[in-house]
């Protein structure tokens, strides 16, 4: 999933990926390096352990601090299975 993402007070094109391994969900995000035209490395990740049988869906929440406006646009969504 990618779209305009506010990061370090600038709007940038960001990428989000979600992987499921057993009872673990791995959320990763990265941004395009404008000068190089490639991803910044490495991907930033957060892992969450889900108790067996309790996983049903994943949602997204946008958060701002202060009175800043927030706009999130998700495009190019794909589902890949192993």
Which tokens go with 74? 């998700």
> 76: which DSSP letter?
S
Rounded Cα distance between 49 and 75, Å, is 27
| DSSP letter for each residue of 14-63 | EEEEEEEETTEEEEEEEEEETTTTEE-SS-EEEEEE--TT----------
Section 43-62 average pLDDT: 72
Section 27-54 average pLDDT: 73
Which tokens go with 70? 């927030």
More confident residue, 70 or 55: 70
């Amino acid at each position: 999933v990618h779209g305009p993402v506010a990061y370090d007070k600038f709007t940038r094109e960001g990428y989000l990926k979600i992987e499921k391994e057993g009872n673990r969900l791995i959320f990763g995000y990265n941004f395009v390096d404008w000068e190089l035209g490639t991803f910044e490395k490495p991907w930033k990740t957060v892992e969450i352990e889900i108790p067996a049988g309790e996983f049903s869906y994943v949602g997204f929440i946008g958060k701002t601090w202060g009175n800043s406006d927030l706009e999130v646009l998700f495009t190019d969504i794909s589902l890949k299975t192993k």
